[in-house]
Structure 1
């Protein structure tokens, strides 16, 4: 499954590897959309049967219709191999999903738009976006160094930091640098956004620092090429260190680093586990401004944690002081571009990535706000309400689920919190400007701008940690998909509401078949695996053994169609909730009537056929591993068709085509 949101929200202020892929981002509260009332009539909403006035976006609808039409191979028999019927018109094997392709397109569009405005625009930009542009401009500006007078030396002087300064302690200094200045020297702190399954507290733990891991590899290259000492000397000189002593210090750094990096060298002493954890908790509370360790637990079991503690206990006090000073100097010299390790990346790409780490919500908003506005959000919200209402109907009509269990399942559905579009207070430029109010205006000296922006980013991180409840975890608006998260929350980011996944005013056959499929599959996750054990408010669902076994069999009846990964909680199969889903689509179609835009190239298909074709299009990439290219029976599209009486009716398949039905309800 595509990684979402922050299954853990990371204080990875420079985790560039996760850029545009990590599930940390944004939701819209207009207000938070959920069914919190205990009144079951909340799902009996007659307004869903009345169409909302408004036209459609003909360009979007025409574009998605052309995609659907070009995918079809009408010579194939949909009753025998629906995957071939829908997907083989492309005349090639589809390697990536529609969702992944969309996310790539969104990422590219955001990058291109930002680079265009960074070159200069006549109209004034919102304050938040202006700060992003100026930070980027500071980064791409050519670096000019003049002996010891550049910003790195100034930083060391301002922080009273030098190779001759004794640090207060390896752990103390590392955490202060990370939590006060945002410098991830050896690791990144990862903070769970909500408690893990059957836990009451969130965890803080250590993750890998991308920059430190890259340095480990670059260090080996420098050593093998004989360039390590000259590189280290250049970094040391950039801090304002005495030129005559730089070479000797570089050799000492190499000795200490080799000692700390070599796993075969074991530490001579270690701190008792309880004392070590106590020290960590004390420092985390101090340097996080009280945001951490109040409602969080600490875990020191990760590999980055073990490696860091090995390093900490291998070196004596003097070696620790030299090495942590070296790492700060190397880190800042590398980030700022004063000293390169060898392969020089495209500076514009590097600087855009760096800028996006800090200003991603503002940069993406410039592309998303014009399209994903309140009108589009209202249409998606209406889809959500229709889907939830029909799922509720299926739960109520189930004749095999015990009444007590049925009530718990219905309660869970009512308590789902839906986050649509953008994060709290970030759905407007006013909110974004306020969010970035304390971020500095770039001075043009990039290292200074980087350090000050990093510091402001850290302050904002802890500010949000103090203010937000577990259910208010952040997510990113530029991610494509829908995601069911820990505290009974379903997230639909703004980028998911763009064409072709969602098309403004288009026929429900297309919008439900595409975005509706993604939403429905993730809504069904609320009832599967570990999620089936609670009702969304912390109360357990007491399944009888036979009842639970029956439910799990139904939930997993077509799991062969899914590409398996390491997720503990994989998505439901395509047939789970399918009958409620089809009813929701038909209900929306009846309300819409004949007011949808025409679908060029699809005139020969009925509305129901377009609905099923759209559902399959999402899964054209999902081909079982075969060497002969044959599309097997257990492909998702074929199982969806095989297990649906509605599909058989739509495509006039033989009556025995749907003799094996598959749905949890």
Structure 2
């Protein structure tokens, strides 16, 4: 129906107006008084109106007014219904929600770009132009926009009154937030004192201004572990990969001050921006603690050189991903025999003591460190062979303790830290304080804050709808398994069993809405409004105690590692669980008013991505019960690796600012992206076959299958600084956003078909990689 037809249809027929005809009054001797409401005039001068009582007049007026109102409403409703009928019968969806989402999509696009040449630019060019990176960010994306929206919700929630006697956990979250906001300027007034008090109490023999090489390495390590500092190595408790029904002690490499070994190797302090900034940060903090500038700088150069030596023996991240290869179970006694430098039993019992636990030398422990622990012990021995080396090691250990606290101290300490942050990520300036404090509170008491967020923002039916959608994606994944000719029948059946066994955790853990259970969660955590530094130290110790207390307990199913407001999702191989927090179950990832093509393209792909993690190069090593063991036939393993190598080689060819993506490091995420897109697409097409065809969105001239791919791509719209790009390339297992779109779509036959991309075009290469 065109607008002219619509306007004609909307015209209503007129109704005949009733005219009151007056009687002949020419012969009356006393004409009646004129009245604007006068009706028929009777002989004798009185009208019917004048003969009625006041009550009768009022009732008559009300009746007339009501009748007119009903007529007008009927006309309006008829017009509105006609309008709705027109919208519903239109070949294009013109409801407000469709117009709004269509406008948002168009604004994000750059339609001057050929979608078969660069679909990322085609989908996100407009978004990138209209979303410059704000102060305090090195990267800004659709994830960032949604997180900022969630922050506003949390701010409103946390600023409401809380009854401490009833809801102690939420009161603690609010109190922590206020301690971060620091309206009384307590943080600035205290300056370095909170840190100095710890140093004086725990490490009285150390001072940045006094050269002293006398220290007890064992004692210093044990004290540093008490504050959660993973110098030289890390120790914690987690599920035993080969027996996921029990927890076990674990140890791994650790101890670099910069994010990755790459920042040290083949670099020099004089010529490298990051190392120069790192040295400046260290020197400024040392001076704030009383050190003389030249002496402090000289000592910190020695610390950087020690860390460089440590980086040289650190296993690269891409090699560390092979969990079957890295897993090594042994007893503490065996560890002691292999690495004699430390008293391992004493260190581990020191870690366990806050949890009131102790172990013997026969206790089993899993090492993921390969030869690192042996090489590290040799490096430490060599370093301590000279007086200068002893002092360097002492400063190294103390520096890591100090560095862990600078974020909680006064502005001069935080400004010193910004020098390094800018060099690493390009970040300048900062966000509004309340945003930093909301994020900080989420990281410290995230489930108490999450309870507030859920009450404010999470609709009750969202959880059920997400559960249903993830079941549809899972069904599509399983239905595709018979199409994978490279899998043998037995392995395919085992893969289906594993997919069936995946546990879905949607929205939030139920216990957080139970006040008594939530209070119990944070019962042992003390929070004070004027002790921001102290709150963080106590929180660190609280988290450490909780972790080590799990050693003699069975791993808890359905335990969340992400807080409800988080804009992310994850898969846990040892539990075979998928977690989608409430924070990500919102637009642009999911909205009940969106076409299902967009919902499947966005949150559906996220679901498929996490599901596929159970079958990527790492996840496939775990069976349906979360145990690390061979459960594939050898021939299927060989063929899987061939296809995985195709993915690895493909992504290794992509470049960002002239620097190659690490296809080996990002392999698992790339497999998950490709498999997730495929599963979500088939889930959508299956949904279409069982539901009414959705009407096209206005002004886009795209089919819903095309919108599926566009919705997927626009999730990854992002701007980033070059420093942030490098930081991602050297240490992040995810590919850059651009290649999460281009790499994935260029492997999709369905995408090429829907956008009619010629074979050999950039988005439809002849050679495609496919695993799942």
Match of 1:607 in 2: 704
Query: Are 1:508 and 1:585, in contact at CA under 8 Å, matched by a contact in 2?
Result: yes
Match of 2:615 in 1: 527
Match of 2:322 in 1: none
Local SS of the residue matching 1:506: coil
| Cα distance, 1:374–1:319 mapped onto 2, change above 3 Å | same
Counterpart of 1:456 (choices 530, 542, 556) is 542
Counterpart of 1:103 (choices 143, 148, 157) is 143
Local SS of the residue matching 2:578: strand
Matching of residue 68 in structure 1 with residue 68 in structure 2? no
Query: Are 1:184 and 1:209, in contact at CA under 8 Å, matched by a contact in 2?
Result: no
- Root-mean-square deviation (CA), in Å? 5.8
Between 1 and 2, higher relative CO (CA 8 Å, sep ≥ 6) is seen in 1
State which structure, 1 or 2, has the greater radius of gyration over its C-alpha atoms.
2
Match of 1:405 in 2: 491
Question: Equivalent residues in 2 for 1:546-561 (5 A)?
Answer: 551=640
Match of 1:175 in 2: 222
2:223 and 2:767 map into 1 onto residues whose CA distance is 62
1:71 and 1:148 map into 2 onto residues whose CA distance is 46
Normalising by the residue count of structure 2, what TM-score does the alignment of the two structures yield? 0.57
Matching of residue 490 in structure 1 with residue 578 in structure 2? yes
1:607 and 1:147 map into 2 onto residues whose CA distance is 59
Show structure 1 runs of 5+ residues with no match: 1-57, 235-246, 626-630
The CA deviation string for residues 260-283 of structure 1, in whole angstroms up to 9 with x for no partner, is 7764999xxxx9974636612332
Match of 2:40 in 1: none
The CA deviation string for residues 195-252 of structure 1, in whole angstroms up to 9 with x for no partner, is 5699997632353376999999789549989x96x64448xxxxxxxxxxxx9xx999
User: How far did 1:660 drift?
Assistant: 8.6
1:251 and 1:85 map into 2 onto residues whose CA distance is 54
Local SS of the residue matching 1:469: coil
Question: Equivalent residues in 2 for 1:204-283 (5 A)?
Answer: 204-208=251-255, 220-221=279-280, 231-233=288-290, 263=306, 274=338, 276=340, 279-283=343-347
Matching of residue 389 in structure 1 with residue 475 in structure 2? yes
Counterpart of 2:598 (choices 499, 510, 519) is 510
Matching of residue 480 in structure 1 with residue 564 in structure 2? no
- The size of the alignment, in residue pairs, is 569
Local SS of the residue matching 2:467: helix
The CA deviation string for residues 589-613 of structure 1, in whole angstroms up to 9 with x for no partner, is 455547x8x8753675443332233
Show structure 2 runs of 5+ residues with no match: 1-94, 134-138, 264-273, 310-334, 419-429, 655-660, 726-737
Counterpart of 1:133 (choices 165, 174, 182) is 174
Query: Are 2:610 and 2:672, in contact at CA under 8 Å, matched by a contact in 1?
Result: no
| Cα distance, 1:447–1:387 mapped onto 2, change above 3 Å | closer
Local SS of the residue matching 2:250: strand
| Cα distance, 1:100–1:285 mapped onto 2, change above 3 Å | farther
User: How far did 1:511 drift?
Assistant: 0.8
Match of 1:142 in 2: 185
Match of 1:366 in 2: 452
| Cα distance, 1:484–1:304 mapped onto 2, change above 3 Å | farther
Query: Are 1:482 and 1:493, in contact at CA under 8 Å, matched by a contact in 2?
Result: yes
Query: Are 2:157 and 2:453, in contact at CA under 8 Å, matched by a contact in 1?
Result: no
Match of 2:45 in 1: none
User: How far did 1:341 drift?
Assistant: 4.9
The CA deviation string for residues 367-421 of structure 1, in whole angstroms up to 9 with x for no partner, is 3553345421211111111111222222246566432222222222223233333
User: How far did 1:136 drift?
Assistant: 3.8
2:389 and 2:638 map into 1 onto residues whose CA distance is 60
User: How far did 1:543 drift?
Assistant: 3.2
Matching of residue 588 in structure 1 with residue 687 in structure 2? yes
| Cα distance, 1:419–1:79 mapped onto 2, change above 3 Å | same
User: How far did 1:439 drift?
Assistant: 1.1
1:660 and 1:501 map into 2 onto residues whose CA distance is 31
| Cα distance, 1:571–1:337 mapped onto 2, change above 3 Å | closer
| Cα distance, 1:401–1:378 mapped onto 2, change above 3 Å | same
2:523 and 2:173 map into 1 onto residues whose CA distance is 12
1:418 and 1:555 map into 2 onto residues whose CA distance is 26
1:584 and 1:143 map into 2 onto residues whose CA distance is 55
Query: Are 1:186 and 1:308, in contact at CA under 8 Å, matched by a contact in 2?
Result: no
2:468 and 2:442 map into 1 onto residues whose CA distance is 32
Query: Are 2:283 and 2:297, in contact at CA under 8 Å, matched by a contact in 1?
Result: no
Counterpart of 2:372 (choices 289, 301, 304) is 301
Normalising by the residue count of structure 1, what TM-score does the alignment of the two structures yield? 0.65
Local SS of the residue matching 1:171: helix
Match of 2:464 in 1: 378
Local SS of the residue matching 1:297: strand
